[in-house]
Amino acid sequence: MKTLKIPEATVMRLSLYSLFLEQAEEEGKVTVSSGEIAEGVGVSPAMVRKDLAYFGEFGTRGVGYNAGDLNQQIRRILGLNREWPVILVGAGKLGSALALYQGFLRQGFHIVGVFDNDPERFGKRLGQIVVQPVSQMEEVIRKRGVEMAIITVPDEAAQEVAERLVGAGVKAILNFSSKVLNVPREVVVRHVDFSVHLGVLTFNLVLLNRNNG
Amino acid sequence: MKTLKIPEATVMRLSLYSLFLEQAEEEGKVTVSSGEIAEGVGVSPAMVRKDLAYFGEFGTRGVGYNAGDLNQQIRRILGLNREWPVILVGAGKLGSALALYQGFLRQGFHIVGVFDNDPERFGKRLGQIVVQPVSQMEEVIRKRGVEMAIITVPDEAAQEVAERLVGAGVKAILNFSSKVLNVPREVVVRHVDFSVHLGVLTFNLVLLNRNNG
């Protein structure tokens, strides 16, 4: 994975700020302070200001940020000011849930293909999409100019799927298998192991319980 | 959420190091270098060393780390050297997939209850667990000493569920709804919005495409 000057944690928090700002907009708020964003997302106000400072000057001192403007700027920074075609490989329980996940569409991610190697799953309807044989994957990637893929196949198949994706032109992979993928340096991979999130919780719980007891 | 001295990104990477070390162990490797861990996880070797340095001295200069020892130490740091009872609220598609997610069990997380408010889902079997009415949630939390919960309910129900969980003694929540939760400061929340991960990918893709073109 490429090492960036902007910390990945900052990039992830930007997405959370964007979600919070959307919520604020929906609630009719026009202006928000870094303190409100911080409170809403669960970080310190200083961290919000530092994260935003990577990308220039936002907001007005003593007034705060215009929620809509800031959200648009963040979405532009994150590349979310356009639509992205995405394919999903592995139509098991998790894959099916993700294919139907409304949050993707809301953020501009369009699942344009779901693939599996189990003939029993071919033709299965997931929202607007029908599960296709994995043999058709490369063709869809090329035809639709797909650069992003989500892997929800069993661990033992994950590496091979990743290689095929990269071979066909995919440059960014969201990996839900527990296999750590080996891909060329220029390919961006995010490894989503849910137990990683639980690990962050337990780490904090242990600290919390230690401080309290 | 509590602000910690250890960056959250470090804590998340520790989980990834642990997954990588497990894989290395399974492949029969005894010693691994920070370079190998870095390569496997997709960060720089300096970052691996820096992350580990928060917790003391590991490994032998010029030799590397004993994979099994390092993994055990990391798991202890993360609080993964014990089992954790976890409940899950919301037995829809995503909740069902998560209830059956093997990665949790592998890391010591035991789903001890799955709750929903839809009577049609009551009694539905998910692996070892049967979906129960959400009215029984508090009792299970208290009886089993549950401190961790996973929320996979629709957005509009998420805040109320979070408040009930906290009221019953839950101290850490993994939130899969797209609602930013408002909880007391001492409660640890991880917000898992899958589009946040895709946002990290698009951010990197935009950079990548800019540098190449």
**Interatomic CA distance for residues B181 and A151, integer angstroms:** 28
Q: Please compute the mean of the pLDDT values over residues B159-177 and round it to a whole number.
A: 96
For residue B166, being part of any structural domain is answered with yes
* C-alpha closest to that of B173 among B160, B162, B158, B186: B162
Which residue among B1, B200, B205 sits closest to A12, beta carbon to beta carbon? B200
Give the angle subtended at the CA of A197 by the CAs of B87 and B106, to the nearest 5°: 70
For residue B124, being part of any structural domain is answered with yes
Give the pLDDT confidence score for residue A152 in this predicted structure.
95
Distance (Å) from the alpha carbon of A156 to chain B's nearest alpha carbon? 12
Domain-terminating residue out of B37, B57, B77: B77
Give the pLDDT confidence score for residue A1 in this predicted structure.
39
Q: Which of A41, A194, A206 to mutate to test the interface with B (most CBs of B within 10 A)?
A: A194
Give the pLDDT confidence score for residue A44 in this predicted structure.
82
For residue B208, being part of any structural domain is answered with no
Which residue among B6, B94, B172 sits closest to A205, beta carbon to beta carbon? B172
Residue B184 and residue B113 share a domain:
yes
Q: Which domain holds residue B15?
A: 8-77
CB contact under 8 A, A1 and B42: yes
**Interatomic CA distance for residues A159 and A180, integer angstroms:** 8
Q: Which of A86, A171, A173, A202 to mutate to test the interface with B (most CBs of B within 10 A)?
A: A202
Which residue among A97, A171, A206 sits closest to B94, beta carbon to beta carbon? A97
Give the pLDDT confidence score for residue B2 in this predicted structure.
40
CB contact under 8 A, A93 and B100: yes
Q: Chain B window 91-130: which residues touch A at a Cβ cutoff of 8 Å?
A: 92-94, 96-98, 100-101, 103-104, 106-107, 109
Q: Give how many domains chain A has, as a whole number.
A: 2
pLDDT tens track for A40-51: 877 788 889 999
Asked if residue B102 lies in contact with residue A194, where contact means CB atoms within 8 angstroms, the answer is no
For residue B201, being part of any structural domain is answered with no
Amino acid at site A134: V
Q: Is the pTM of this model over 0.80?
A: no
For residue A143, being part of any structural domain is answered with yes
Q: Which of A196-210, B27-41, B129-143, B157-171 is least confident?
A: A196-210
Give, in order, the Cα–Cα distances in Å from B139 to each of A104, B18, B122, B135. 35, 34, 16, 8
For residue A212, being part of any structural domain is answered with no
Backbone phi, psi, residue A130, to 5°: -115, 135
The ipTM estimated for the assembled molecules is 0.83
Provide the CATH number for the domain around residue B55.
Answer: 1.10.10.10
Q: Which of A12, A88, A189, A204 to mutate to test the interface with B (most CBs of B within 10 A)?
A: A204
Provide the CATH number for the domain around residue A170.
Answer: 3.40.50.720
Instruction: Give me the residues of chain A with pLDDT under 70, please.
Output: 1-5, 213
> Does B56 have pLDDT greater than 90?
no
> Does B26 have pLDDT greater than 80?
yes
Q: Please report the beta strands in A134-171, taking only residues with DSSP state E, as ranges in sequence order.
A: 148-151
pLDDT tens track for B174-204: 999 878 888 998 899 988 878 778 888 998 8
Asked if residue A168 lies in contact with residue A137, where contact means CB atoms within 8 angstroms, the answer is yes
Contact list, B79 vs chain A (CB under 8 Å): 199, 202-203, 205-206
Give the pLDDT confidence score for residue B63 in this predicted structure.
80
Residue A60 and residue A153 share a domain:
no
Give the pLDDT confidence score for residue B3 in this predicted structure.
39
pLDDT tens track for B76-115: 999 999 999 999 999 998 999 999 887 788 888 999 999 9
> Does B163 have pLDDT greater than 50?
yes
Give the angle subtended at the CA of A198 by the CAs of B178 and B156, to the nearest 5°: 20
Residue A72 and residue A89 share a domain:
no
Mean pLDDT of chain B: 89
Ramachandran quadrant class, A94 (left: phi over 0; alpha: psi -120 to 50; beta: rest): alpha
Residue A57 and residue A20 share a domain:
yes
CB contact under 8 A, B44 and A3: yes
Asked if residue A30 lies in contact with residue A66, where contact means CB atoms within 8 angstroms, the answer is yes
Q: Does B208 touch chain A (CB under 8 A)?
A: yes
Of the two residues B57 and B73, the one the predictor is more confident about is B73
| Burial of A72 (C-beta count, 10 Å sphere; 0-12/13-18/19+) | middle
CB contact under 8 A, A2 and B178: no
Asked if residue B97 lies in contact with residue B123, where contact means CB atoms within 8 angstroms, the answer is no
Give the pLDDT confidence score for residue A194 in this predicted structure.
81
